Each structure stands twice: as C-alpha cells, then as structure tokens.
Amino acid sequence: MSIENDPNNASTYYLRGNIKHLLQDYYGAIEDYSQALDQQDDYRFYHWRGAAKHALSDHDSAIADYSEAIRLNPSAADSYENRGRARLYLGDKKGGCLDLSKAGELGSEGAYDAIRKFCN
C-alpha cells in the first residue's frame, strides 16, 4: 500500500517514518510520525517521533512524546528507557534514573547498563 493510494493509512506513514529514521532523516521521520498520529493514536508513533526528536537534541519535546507513549502503553519499557535518557541529558538525574529503573523492571537490559553508568 502506498501513501498515494491510501493517504489516510497511519501504518504507511509510520513505516515510511521508520525508513527515514534509519536514513537519519529525522525531520522527515517526525513529519511522517505526525501524519500517522493525525490518523491514529498509537504509542509506537509517539515513541518513534520522540526518538527522532531525541536524535535532534530536542529533549523536551522527546520527553513529551515518550510520556504520551507511556500514557497509552504503561508497559512500554523502551519508552521509559528513552525518556530516562532524555531526562539525564537535561540534567534531571532523579527523574532519569527513576525512568531507567522502571524500564529495567519492565525487562529492558539496556536500562540497567545505563543505571550502572549514570545513576550511582
């Protein structure tokens, strides 16, 4: 399915956003994730838009997107981990470490590595 054939297909925008993200076209990825969100409220769309914003050092906006992803899916370990890392970048050690701890509880191995590195 292409966007031209079905411009209201959130999954198509999401997948194209993922490709742009892999190609490090973060602005293009943000546009596609936003288009997907215009069609459907899905935690993955918020998570990956947050990741693209994080890659562009827009940590405050990334945190807002990760928070929305967590609201929609409270068991999203990757969103907790990424929000924790974004908070650490902004100097919020307590908030960052709490998020990393929650991510670890939810099964993220990388979160525990980050805790050992940044939270002691």
Mean pLDDT of 5-27: 91
pLDDT value at 1 more than 60: no
- Span 10-118: which CATH code? 1.25.40.10
Task: Please state, as a whole number, how many other Cβ atoms lie within 10 Å of the Cβ of residue 107.
Answer: 10
pTM of the complete model: 0.93
38: its two tokens: 């215009």
The residues, ordered by sequence, that sit 6+ positions from 40 with a Cβ below 8 Å of its Cβ are 10
For the chain, the domains span 10-118
Q: DSSP readout, 11-55?
A: HHHHHHHHHHHHTT-HHHHHHHHHHHHHH---HHHHHHHHHHHHH
